[in-house]
């Protein structure tokens, strides 16, 4: 299969790079649309795509180090076989287990005109070349996506992998017509882990459906925005994520001293909010009661030897005891 590849450098052609990303959705944005991104809501992504709010591309230290270490992790993965000791042995003996190719640019698949694809590496049977702005994928066996994460982060997710990474990999497999993918993870700068996945047709079907529906909203919103119309009507509905709450605080950061009329629907939201708040208050009181019973049992001890959970009550650096159950 041959697909178009657009060569564009973020470092050397930053504005062109931003403009290109407005033409569709990248695989790293799929997690936002499927509700697994803690840092951005679908509504914020919508307003960015139609041009109401600017794209945020601020490189922080974890992002910077991830970019710097990507080539090193990719080089090591070429020697990976089963586990770390075997990989080290292969590396010392110069026994590569696979060949990786880095596609420098964005791959375009006409079957998904609203998406573009930029996998970190392709696992190939032999070297492939880009000719006449097309890339031949006939010799591609799998996708390899490279991540550097902290051990703390990996413990937050089942299997140690954030769902957004899994969705990103599935999107690449879909776009490039590949049935296998690897998430290659360097954890805490020293633990090397490889997660192998097959293409999940159910997930891929959801990705197609959700991104297609979202992009229709973007197209309608762009037209309304360009013509001075009501582009808010096409935005994704509000959700309960912290990302959406932060987005609202930022978008409406200049309040006016005026009153707006309620509606029956908003009145119901107000009642539900109060009801949930009352339930939370009752639950929090019950939680404190159980904690106090446990603390009374512990006294001056710092740990409970329990088979059901790890219970600690230790002083922090300020000398205040902190109670935790995990």
253 is a domain residue: no
CB atoms under 10 Å from CB of 283, counted, come to 10
Whole-number mean pLDDT of the chain?
A: 89
φ/ψ of 130, rounded to 5, equals -95, 125
CB atoms under 10 Å from CB of 255, counted, come to 6
76 is a domain residue: yes
Tell me what pLDDT residue 153 has: 66
Q: Could you tell me the pLDDT band of residue 182, with boundaries at 50, 70 and 90?
A: very high
> 188, 206, 224 — which closes off a domain?
206
Whether the predicted pLDDT of 105 surpasses 80:
yes
Are 323 and 313 in contact by the 8 Å Cβ rule? The answer is yes
217 is a domain residue: no
Q: Looking at the structure, do residues 139 and 281 belong to the same domain, yes or no?
A: no
Q: Looking at the structure, do residues 164 and 290 belong to the same domain, yes or no?
A: no
How confident is the model over 96-122, as a mean pLDDT? 93
**Token pair of 159, please?**
């299997």
Whether the predicted pLDDT of 109 surpasses 80:
yes
**Beta strand pairing status for 121-124 and 130-131?**
unpaired
Q: Which CATH number covers residue 11?
A: 3.90.320.10
Q: Looking at the structure, do residues 82 and 200 belong to the same domain, yes or no?
A: yes
| Overall domain count for the chain | 2
97 is a domain residue: yes
Whether the predicted pLDDT of 80 surpasses 70:
yes
274 is a domain residue: yes
230 is a domain residue: no
Q: Could you tell me the pLDDT band of residue 172, with boundaries at 50, 70 and 90?
A: very high
10 is a domain residue: yes
214 is a domain residue: no
> 186, 206, 226 — which closes off a domain?
206
Q: Looking at the structure, do residues 31 and 143 belong to the same domain, yes or no?
A: yes
Tell me what pLDDT residue 154 has: 65
Whether the predicted pLDDT of 302 surpasses 90:
yes
In whole angstroms, what is the distance from residue 314 CA to residue 116 CA?
50
Q: Looking at the structure, do residues 191 and 287 belong to the same domain, yes or no?
A: no
Are 175 and 109 in contact by the 8 Å Cβ rule? The answer is yes
Q: Looking at the structure, do residues 273 and 202 belong to the same domain, yes or no?
A: no
Q: Looking at the structure, do residues 108 and 185 belong to the same domain, yes or no?
A: yes
Predicted TM-score (pTM) of the model is 0.80
Residue with the bigger pLDDT between 250 and 287: it is: 287
pLDDT, tens digit, 9 for 90 and up, residues 39-67: 888 998 999 999 888 776 666 777 777 77
> 206, 225, 249 — which closes off a domain?
206
pLDDT, tens digit, 9 for 90 and up, residues 271-290: 998 999 999 999 999 999 99
Q: Looking at the structure, do residues 271 and 144 belong to the same domain, yes or no?
A: no
Are 100 and 77 in contact by the 8 Å Cβ rule? The answer is yes
Q: Looking at the structure, do residues 92 and 195 belong to the same domain, yes or no?
A: yes
Whether the predicted pLDDT of 156 surpasses 70:
no
Are 69 and 186 in contact by the 8 Å Cβ rule? The answer is yes
Range(s) of the domain holding residue 318: 265-325
Are 145 and 176 in contact by the 8 Å Cβ rule? The answer is no
How confident is the model over 87-101, as a mean pLDDT? 94
CB atoms under 10 Å from CB of 48, counted, come to 18
């Amino acid at each position: 299969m041959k697909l178009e590849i657009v060569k564009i450098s973020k470092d050397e052609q930053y504005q062109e790079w931003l403009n290109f990303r407005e033409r569709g959705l990248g695989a790293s944005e799929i997690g936002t649309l499927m509700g697994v991104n803690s840092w951005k809501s679908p509504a914020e992504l919508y307003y960015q795509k139609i041009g109401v709010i600017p794209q945020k591309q601020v490189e922080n230290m974890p992002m910077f180090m991830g970019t710097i270490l990507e080539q090193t992790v990719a080089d090591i993965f070429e020697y990976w076989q089963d586990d770390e000791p075997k990989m080290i042995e292969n590396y010392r003996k110069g026994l590569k287990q696979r060949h990786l190719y880095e596609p420098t640019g964005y791959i375009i698949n006409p079957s998904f005109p609203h998406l573009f694809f930029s996998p970190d590496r392709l696992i190939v049977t032999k070297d492939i070349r880009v000719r006449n702005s097309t890339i031949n994928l006939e010799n591609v066996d799998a996708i390899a996506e490279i991540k550097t994460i902290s051990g703390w982060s990996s413990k937050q997710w089942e299997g140690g992998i954030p769902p957004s990474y899994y969705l990103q990999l599935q999107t690449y497999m879909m776009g490039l017509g590949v049935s296998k993918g690897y998430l290659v993870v360097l954890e805490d700068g020293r633990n090397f882990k490889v997660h192998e996945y097959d293409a999940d047709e159910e997930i891929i079907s959801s990705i197609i459906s959700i991104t297609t529906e979202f992009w229709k909203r973007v197209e309608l919103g762009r037209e309304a925005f360009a013509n001075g119309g009501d582009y808010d009507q096409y935005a994704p509905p509000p959700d309960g994520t912290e990302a959406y709450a932060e987005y609202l605080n930022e978008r409406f950061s200049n309040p006016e001293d005026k009153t707006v009329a309620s509606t029956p629907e908003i009145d119901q939201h107000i009642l539900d909010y109060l009801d949930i708040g009352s339930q939370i208050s009752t639950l929090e009181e019950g939680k404190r009661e159980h904690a106090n019973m446990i603390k009374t049992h512990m006294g001056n001890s710092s740990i409970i030897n329990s088979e059901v959970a790890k219970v600690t009550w230790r002083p922090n650096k300020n000398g205040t005891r902190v109670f935790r159950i995990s």
